[in-house]
Amino acid sequence: MLTPLIARLRRLTPIQWVIVALLLWFVLTEIYYLIRQPSLLLARLLILGIAFPVHEFAHAWAAVSLGDETPRLQGRLTLNPLKHLDVFGTILLLINGFGWAKPVQVFPWYLRGKYGMVWVALAGPVSNLILAVLGAVGFRLGAVQLTGASFFGQMIAQFIFINLILFFFNLIPLFPLDGEKIAYHLAPLDWQRQFDRIRPYSIFILIMVAFALPQVFSFLIIGPSQFLLNLLIG
């Protein structure tokens, strides 16, 4: 089974070898970091087992409630993580804390009301905000403490923080995020045409903002998430 892989590796150019080496270094660094921060690893597992399924279920439930039976027919009206998780998105979340689940397919023309798609798209991020608030209840009641010695407290705080990041990140008005669907279906026709033109390049814009312009990403996502985290857990 290793023979095809070895053959492919032998065909790599020097530049490709450098890229592979950098990726391997990045992955090993993240794994080493997670080994030293087990509370973070468990928080990411909670995101996979709870936050991602709840997020996608919220989309599915909103769509079915508004008249589109597609999510039910495709088996997405469930909290079973196996129905929602994407393999590559799961691996990336565990390694780097950034990942995704399989999007729920929705057909806007089946939805009741002018803003049906807006409510369906909004349901996902709102579910992450609700999970963050629920996660903070223990802190507010004094049942959970955020101290260096509190493994459970650190894990729950990370869970809350990641949910807040997902909330703000998904509201960015760029495809394929929920914010793009919300903005698109609220926008006048002329603006919708602009969204249509930008859509093919949206992924590259997101990557550039996240990796090439980390200050912008921090200002839009990390800063507000940290502010809300401090507000929620005191």
63-112 pLDDT, tens digit per residue, is: 999 999 999 999 999 999 999 999 888 888 888 777 889 999 999 999 99
Where exactly are the structural domains of the chain?
A: 1-36, 38-233
Size of the chain in residues: 234
User: Residues 120, 63: contact at Cβ < 8 Å?
Assistant: yes
Per-residue pLDDT band at 147 (split at 50, 70, 90): low
**pTM, entire model:** 0.84
194-231 pLDDT, tens digit per residue, is: 999 999 888 888 877 777 777 888 888 999 999 999 99
For residues 158 and 39, what is the distance between their CA atoms, to the nearest angstrom? 8
Of 50, 19, 81, nearest to 160 by C-alpha is: 50
Please list the active-site residues.
56
Burial label, 200 (beta-carbon count in 10 A; 0-12, 13-18, 19+): exposed
